[in-house]
């Protein structure tokens, strides 16, 4: 799908591309070595796409650490960004309205910042509820739930430092979610 350059600072695709539930886009992680962002590629390409063509698709929201997930119907993408190495960048949950695919090789979603929190120094995870109305995410030592309208609730805050999140998954009926955590000491 992508042709990358060996030039210093040129973006490269990272492992783990994910099909949208609609099947019309492929979301992938990209990096330039210092920041990561998400790009959306049309799977019907007849020729490889240059990674430079994905440079601005996340609209300047690059981050050292980034996690994304598709909404159940594939019409939206949720992206959680932070800086785990220095804890200096605000942790932000972005959502994007993903356009229906057409002849465009890349998608340019309409991004909005849904939640902004203090910087996190631990890694992050997120999960979308089966009904598409809520997003659960973990950042630092906290578990959050946000309604797509923006109502945010802190579900749990752990007093232990250095948590490593291993699981975050909604129940099939959407009434709750499962969280797995390891305490690194």
Which of the four pLDDT bands, split at 50, 70 and 90, describes residue 185? low
Would you state the pLDDT for residue 72?
97
Which of the four pLDDT bands, split at 50, 70 and 90, describes residue 34? confident
Query: CA 79, CA 81: separation in Å to the nearest integer?
Result: 6
Strands 2-3 and 49-50: parallel
Least-confidence region, from 102-111, 114-123, 145-154: 114-123
Least-confidence region, from 61-65, 66-70, 166-170: 61-65
Buried b or exposed e, range 25-59, using 16+ CB within 10 angstroms: bbbbbbbeeebbbbbbbbeeeeeebebeebbebbe
Helices (H), the chain: none
Which of the four pLDDT bands, split at 50, 70 and 90, describes residue 45? confident
Q: Are 30 and 14 in contact (CB under 8 A)?
A: yes
């Amino acid at each position: 799908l992508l042709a990358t350059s060996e030039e210093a600072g040129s973006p490269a695709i990272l492992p783990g591309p994910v099909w949208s539930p609609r099947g019309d886009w492929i979301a992938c992680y990209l990096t330039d070595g210092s920041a990561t962002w998400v790009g959306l590629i049309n799977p019907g390409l007849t020729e490889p796409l240059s990674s430079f063509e994905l440079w601005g698709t996340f609209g300047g929201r690059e981050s050292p650490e980034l996690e994304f997930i598709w909404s159940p119907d594939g019409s939206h993408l949720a992206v959680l960004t932070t800086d785990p190495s220095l804890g200096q960048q605000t942790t932000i949950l972005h959502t994007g309205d993903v356009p229906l695919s057409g002849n465009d090789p890349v998608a340019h979603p309409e991004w909005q910042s849904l939640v902004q929190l203090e910087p996190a120094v631990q890694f992050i995870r997120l999960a979308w509820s089966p009904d598409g109305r809520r997003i659960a995410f973990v950042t630092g030592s906290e578990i959050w739930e946000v309604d797509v309208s923006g109502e945010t609730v802190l579900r749990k805050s752990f007093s232990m430092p250095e948590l490593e999140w291993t699981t975050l998954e909604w129940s099939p009926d959407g009434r709750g979610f499962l969280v797995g955590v390891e305490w690194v000491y």
